[in-house]
Amino acid sequence: MYIIIAGCGKIGANLVKKLSNDGHDVVVIDPSEENLSQLENGTNCLAITGMPIDEDILKSAGIEHADALCAVSSDDNVNIMTAQIARQLYHVPRVVTRCYDPGKDEVLQQMGLCTVCPTMLTVERIGLLLGETEEN
């Protein structure tokens, strides 16, 4: 698949590594050169410096023929806007949005966006681990 990763923080950089190791064509976008420098040497991907909510940047990343886009920057609203541009303006078949705010996450799901909420994942996971500890 041709996949665009919008945001190159810890999650973005690790996602790039995993997906390119799995044999996908990966393009990563981030406004910060410093973030992009986190990518390990030899990671097989194209890195673009710029704001992912800028249509021109998305076009240069090949959004017109992308199979998937993951909006995983640290800013919920940047992710929401990027995801909607991909989904509604460029009809990218698979779009995943990271959203930290659980309240907003619910609304996004109602709007039809496919989301991942790291806050609730962590809360639920810690809850589970505590449950296990109690049982032990």
Partner 1 sequence: MRIVIVGGGNVGYYLVKTLMAEKHRIMLIDSNRARCERVENAFGGAYVEVTHGDGTSVDCLRDAGIYHAEAFIAVTGQDQNNLVSCQLAKDFFGVKRTIARVKNPKNIRVFEQLGVDSVISSTARIAGSIDQELDWADVNSLLTQKATHVRVREALVVPGSPYNGKRLGEIGLPKGMIVVCIVRDGEALVPDGETRLAADDNVVILGNEADLPRVISAVRGEEI
Binding site for partner 1 (CB under 8 A): 53-56, 75-78, 80-81, 84-85, 88-89, 101, 103-104, 106-107, 110-111
Beta strands in 1-136 (DSSP E): 2-6, 25-30, 46-49, 68-71, 94-98, 114-116
Closest CB to partner 1 among residues 35, 79:
79
Closest CB to partner 1 among residues 20, 82:
82
Q: How far is the CB of 110 from partner 1 (least distance, A)?
A: 8
Per DSSP, the three-state class of 46 is strand
Q: How far is the CB of 61 from partner 1 (least distance, A)?
A: 16
Closest CB to partner 1 among residues 44, 88:
88
Question: Residue 22 gets which letter from DSSP?
Answer: T
The answer to whether 101 and 37 have CB atoms below 8 angstroms apart is: no
